Chains A and B, each alone.
Chain A
């Protein structure tokens, strides 16, 4: 596990790439989820 995190000294660069990528994709999905939720709430309250 320690080896996998360390990756022969390249851990910061490799995991820095993967973490930011998946975090950004997750943020994009969360923003879209919020947008969808807001729209369905607005639809429910509409007369």
Chain B
């Protein structure tokens, strides 16, 4: 009996040690130097992936049979659109963690993601517009995909404005978190808009369930650019988190 009790104690201690290790970096002071290392590594990777993506996209990949050279906007447009949705989901996730566990760092990460998310949303809209003009003949149409992406931009702006308008940091984080969580419903709407409604925007060229409907080199260029934007987002978010820690701690 004594032995079993001892084993249970040991189990409990191991679990406690693991959870302590898990929460170790939840402290802004501990995370501060780690964020610098992450920013450096992801920053270097961002430059490398982006340069490789541009090389594959402009030198290796062929001209598109139907869209000609205009299709090369895809190397910016699709990765930027992916990042705009992905960053929002990550922002909502850390907002939810911050709300549930009351961890300061989660709220700081969520807050730091918003400007970069808004930037990629704007880039997706801007490049989409420049792609729409030569291929559809219009800079903008009130299509389901375009409209829901525009709403995403307003959600980011709303989140940042709400955070800036409340002086008390904790209340601002809680209000922002609620908006981020409620707004996340827009992300699947953007993603499935091309299937749910008749839209001018084309369907997904890349999907997890079927083979991509584009040349392998085009796909490679797009994935490299997406990795580059992803690494850039992590690097910039880490730099911003460090600024937040310096300002608030």
Contact = CB atoms under 8 A, between A and B. Distances in A.
B225 to A, nearest CB: 10
B131 A39 contact: no
B247 A14 contact: no
Nearest to A32: B239
B239 A36 contact: yes
B123 A14 contact: no
Contacts of A4: 58
Nearest to B243: A35
A17 interface: yes
Contacts of A20: 123, 126-127
Contacts of B72: 7, 10, 14
Nearest to B246: A39
A6 B68 CA distance: 12
Contacts, number: 63
Report the contact-size class of chain B (Cβ under 8 Å from the partner).
Answer: 20 to 34
A18 B115 CA distance: 19
A1 interface: no
A41 B123 CA distance: 33
Contacts of A21: 76, 80, 123, 126-127
A16 interface: yes
Interface in B214-249: 232, 236, 239-240, 242-243, 246-247
A14 B243 CA distance: 35
Mostly, the B contact residues are helix
Contacts of B236: 28-29, 32
B9 interface: no
A8 B247 CA distance: 50
B69 interface: yes
B119 A17 contact: no
A43 B80 CA distance: 36
A43 B70 CA distance: 49
A14 B181 CA distance: 35
A21 B131 CA distance: 14
Nearest to B242: A36
B130 interface: yes
Contacts of A35: 243
Given A11-B69, A14-B72, A25-B232, 19 more contacts: A8-B68, A8-B69, A10-B70, A10-B134, A13-B130, A13-B131, A13-B134, A14-B69, A14-B73, A17-B130, A20-B123, A20-B127, A21-B80, A21-B126, A24-B119, A24-B122, A32-B236, A32-B239, A32-B240
